[in-house]
Amino acid sequence: MSKEGSLISKNAEISGVYTMESNRTTLAGDIKELFKLIVLISNVVPVFAGFWLAIYFTGSTLAAHLDALILTIAGSTLVMSGALILNNWFDVDIDRKMARTQNRPTVTGNFSLKAVLWAGIILSAAGMGLLLFTTFEAALYAFVGWFVYVYLYTMWSKRRFTLNTVIGSVSGAVTPLIGWAAIEPASHIVPIMLALILFIWQIPHTFVIAIRKYDEYKAAGVPMLPVVHGFEITKRQIVIYIACLLPLPFYLASLGTVFIVFVSALNFGWLIFAIRGLFGKDDLKWANKMFLFSVNYLMFVFLLAIVVTM
């Protein structure tokens, strides 16, 4: 073979390797976008926390319920994945108009909408099936969360009402109940209060996102609170909801003084930060900081609940 032919062959080989690597990177990115990986992880942590705390308060051990743990985490992850995928499938027209969602494979066309629809249905059904091998109550909470997120939030309220945020918050709130109910009925004060914390937390967290992405939601015609009623009303609502978190740690005295003190400090810090936003002039800068605080708040609360009971 001539030197020129060797070079052509070598370049083709290198080009093929780059293409394969590029395809792998694109596929991984598409899957991450489709499953909303960060959202998925933030929902699985409270499931595990609920499961762990149920074991702690029943005086059992993780080893004794290892099979239930695997079924609970796998089942809840599949159900939530299915719900998130169905959200992407239904919202493809909105996602085309929003910069932060234009890379989703449903928008780019990398995944067909039919395939996405079936993936959402199959994963949801498979997750429900696995959870039924734990307890019916755990599967019931998962179904409630799925139904609220897919139908009541995505398909019904998101495009109609500013209350879509409150409605959607129910779906995230069931996660610690799923984990706890896999061990015993979730009528205990601990899973109920953790669910309430999650429910309330999601509302100011989502309002802050809506302020940060105001232009995108407005362009897509999604009636988020700041789009319909403006920033001032939204900021006042954020303050009110965060204030509602203040008494909740005291209902979790069974988790110990350390938990109460640290979570109360977080609540007061978040509230002061929110109040400052009422008098600030740079709403976007404030919203970005509030967003970071709220994300870390959630992970800290549930990880702390696990740590203090180890």
The residue ranges of every structural domain in the chain are: 36-307
DSSP state of 148: I
What is the identity of the amino acid at 147? F
Q: Which residues contact 308 (CB under 8 A, 6 or more apart)?
A: 255, 256, 258, 259
| Closest among 190, 154, 179, 286 to 294, alpha carbons compared | 286
State the CATH class of domain 36-307: mainly alpha
Q: How far apart are CA 35 and CA 65, in angstroms?
A: 28
pLDDT of residue 25: 58
pLDDT of residue 80: 92
Q: How far apart are CA 117 and CA 112, in angstroms?
A: 9
Q: How far is CA 264 from the centre of its chain?
A: 23
Phi-psi region of 297 (alpha: psi -120 to 50; beta: other; left: phi over 0): alpha
pLDDT of residue 280: 81
pLDDT of residue 19: 47
Q: Encode the chain (310 residues) as per-residue pLDDT tens digits.
A: 555 555 445 554 544 544 445 455 577 777 777 766 777 788 889 999 999 999 999 999 999 999 999 999 999 999 999 999 999 999 999 988 888 888 888 888 888 899 999 999 999 999 999 999 999 999 999 999 999 999 999 999 999 999 999 999 999 999 999 999 999 999 999 999 999 999 999 999 999 999 999 999 999 999 999 999 999 999 999 999 999 999 999 999 999 999 999 999 999 999 999 999 999 889 999 999 999 999 999 999 999 999 999 8
Q: Which residue do the tokens 């180890």 mark? A: 310
Three-state SS annotation for 57-91: HHCCCCHHHHHHHHHHHHHHHHHHHHHHHHHHHHC
pLDDT of residue 97: 87
pLDDT of residue 12: 45
